[in-house]
Amino acid sequence: MNRSRRGTVRWLTPVLLAAALALAACGGAGSADAKPTSITVAIEQNVDTMDGLVGNSAPVNQIIGAALVKVGLDGSAAPDLAASWTSSADATTWTFTLKPGLKFSDGTPLTADDVVFSYETVLKNPKSLQGVYVSAVASVVAKGPGTAVFTMKSPNATWPRVATNLPIVPRAEYNPTTFATKPIGAGPYTVVSFNGTDTMKVAANPHYYAGPRAIAEATVQYVPDETTRLNGLQSGQFDAAVLTGNNVDVAKSAGLASESVTGSKVIYLGYDSGSGPMANEKLRQAISYGIDRSALVKSIMLGYGEPVDQMISSTTFGYDKNALVPAQDVAKAKQMVAASGYAGEEIPLRYPTGYVPAPSDLSQAVANYLTQIGIKVKLAPQDASAFLTDWLGKKLGPIWLFSAQTVTLEGAGTFKYVDVALNTAKDSPLPALYDTMLGESDDAQRAATMAQMNQIRTERAYYTPLFVQNFVYVHSTKFALPKPPPNGYLNPAYFTAS
């Protein structure tokens, strides 16, 4: 090294060190001993409008708002604003009794009149995305300040679960313009600020019926990319996020805590059972035997999942614990393919680039199983939103890989669209059974009908459920998550300081 280079190194070293120290100082460091009162959570569901009567951003509606009923931490339909509810024998009239002394975050009382106003506002607004959930309501009236009575258009035993979607807002204060960014609700937190598109700062609602939450302040940020959420957790910018598979292990190795719970998202193979090669029932049944579901969970989900042979998970109402997952039997599957008369034509396997975990790896693994039993498939990936549109339009072709999820943990939601709305089988008995189930106000009876539907679906192999994707909540060790929610939504209200 010559003299000039040595000189350069001599002055450059302290400059770089000083720069590094300055940057470290800019990064800031909090006291390690103090209990945190503020949390930053990264959520994968978008934060759009804050107005719960217009948008259907469920995490936002549950952080800021409160509905009549909520999904309990054990997956049940639990009281939220309503203390209790009853229905008529035919499930066409539902009466909700509110908890006493309810208040909105601004301190004004919450009454049945506000419930009526919230539902009627949605019913009158054709642009409201909440209309889908409320459309079953024929009318809603207040019977005194503490009771709201719903009359349904037709029998609807699932109504309490569906009512978890709509937050109640104050009639006197509601303004669609201001509520889009600064709503008033009765949920665990109240909005301090919203940047308009993806980040909101909230503070504990002092008037929340269950008392102010343990974490006084929170920042909720929409971060759709999972790698970005992982990077944010590792760098300490986020305190909590939901991750999957390998990312969970990376986060754990970085010293972060995690809780895994059975989720509500079922990954499955769907078929056009009404036309084309998959109208062949034997061929569909062969696939069910040809796939090793446990191996998929182990290799693709790295263990964060559960094999399943029904379209709903064990946390969801309507789950049939007697429906056992068939063991892989390649020889039997091959025999069934041979007996089906399948001519060996190549069948496209469509899959979305989102909505399912590790889409490329998973579809490749499924294709290998199908090839192993003698079915030729050609992988056909598609942009997630275009895929969803084609799925809703029944244009996906013979086989597709997709997910089904009911965030309200009400199996009827899945039954409605996979069995009734989108099943192409022409002779399916399921739509009639679905209508029967909707009229059964007795939960045990309704569960029995749903089990019957599960059984028919399995026998006819309308779908091949593969596994349930677990929700893994990863968070800083500064916080504890005593009871992780089964619906995959991160809510600061669930956290406490460690």
Partner 1 sequence: MVRFLSRRVLRALVSLLGVLTIVFFIVRINGSPAVLLLGPDASAEAVADLDRALGLDRSLPVQYLSFLRSTAVGDFGESLNFNRPALGLILARLPDTLLLAVSAFAFGLVVAFGLAVVAELWGNRTFRDALLWIGAVVQAVPTFLLGIVLILVFAVTLRLLPALGAGSATSLILPAVTLGCFEVALYVRLFSVAIAEQVGQDYVRTAYAKGRTKLQVTLGHVLPNAVLPVVTVAGINLGQLIGGTVVVETVFNWPGAGSLIYQGVTGRDYPIVQAGVVVVATLFILINLGVDMLYAVLDPRVRLS
Inter-CA distances, 490 with 130, 242, 258, 360, 449, Å: 21, 8, 13, 27, 33
Residue 300 or 412 having the CB closest to partner 1: 412
**Among the listed residues 3, 127, 321, 426, the single contact to partner 1 using CB under 8 A:** 127
Least gap, CB of 69 to partner 1 (angstroms): 17
Site membership for partner 1, residue 329 (CB under 8 A): no
Say whether residue 198 binds partner 1 (CB under 8 A): yes
CB 60 to partner 1: min, Å: 12
HSE, side-chain direction, 13 A CA sphere, residue 107: 0
Backbone angles phi, psi at 321, to 5 degrees: -70, -10
Binding status of residue 221 toward partner 1 by CB under 8 A: yes
Q: Which long-range contacts (CB under 8 A, 24 or more apart) does 225-231 make?
A: 226/44, 228/42, 229/42, 229/44
Q: Where are the alpha helices (DSSP H) in 281-379?
A: 281-290, 293-299, 330-340, 359-372
- Under the binding rule (CB under 8 A), the answer on residue 131 touching partner 1 is yes
Residues 6+ apart with CB under 8 A from 39: 215, 217, 218, 219, 239, 240, 479, 492, 495
Site for partner 1 in 444-463 (CB under 8 A): none
Between 23 and 34, CB nearer to partner 1: 23
30 binds partner 1 (CB under 8 A): no
Per CB under 8 A, the list member of 38, 45, 93, 234 interacting with partner 1 is 234
Contact 65, 183 (CB under 8 A): yes
Backbone torsions φ then ψ of 203, nearest 5 degrees: -130, 150
Residue 338 burial (CB count, 10 A)? 13
Buried b (16+ CB within 10 A) or exposed e, 303-316: ebbbbbbbbbbbbb
216 is an interface residue for partner 1 by CB under 8 A: no
> Could you say which residues in the range 392-411 bind partner 1, by CB under 8 A?
392-393
Site for partner 1 in 369-388 (CB under 8 A): 383-386, 388
The number of angstroms, rounded, from the C-alpha of 341 to the middle of its chain's C-alpha atoms is 40
Characterise 51 by phi-psi region: left (phi > 0), alpha (psi -120 to 50), beta (else).
Answer: beta
The reply to whether 55 sits near partner 1 by the rule CB under 8 A is yes
Query: Is 17 a binder of partner 1 (CB under 8 A)?
Result: no
Among 8, 37, 88, 237, binds partner 1 (CB under 8 A): 237
Q: Does 477 bind partner 1 (CB under 8 A)?
A: no
Number of residues counted as binding partner 1 (CB under 8 A): 53
Q: Return d(Cα 292, Cα 120) in angstroms, integer.
A: 49
54 near partner 1 (CB under 8 A)? yes
Task: Tell me which H or E stretch contains 69.
Answer: strand 69-71
420: contact with partner 1 by CB under 8 A: no
- Residues 498 and 257: their CA atoms lie apart, in Å, by 11
Q: Is 154 a residue that touches partner 1 (CB under 8 A)?
A: no
Q: How many CB atoms lie within 10 A of CB 142?
A: 17
Q: Which residues lie across from 137 on neighbouring strands?
A: 152
Scanning 75-83, 195-203, 304-312, 454-462 for contacts with partner 1 by CB under 8 A, the matching segment is: 195-203
Name the one range near partner 1 by CB under 8 A: 42-50, 431-439, 451-459, 476-484. Answer: 42-50
Q: Quick one: 1 or 324, whose CB is closer to partner 1?
A: 1
Q: Which stretch binds partner 1 (CB under 8 A): 49-57, 105-113, 357-365, 469-477?
A: 49-57
> Which residues contact partner 1 by CB under 8 A?
20, 23-24, 26-27, 46, 48-49, 51, 54-56, 126-127, 129, 131-133, 135, 176, 180, 195-199, 221, 223-225, 227-228, 231-232, 234-238, 254, 383-386, 388-389, 392-393, 413, 416-417, 421-422
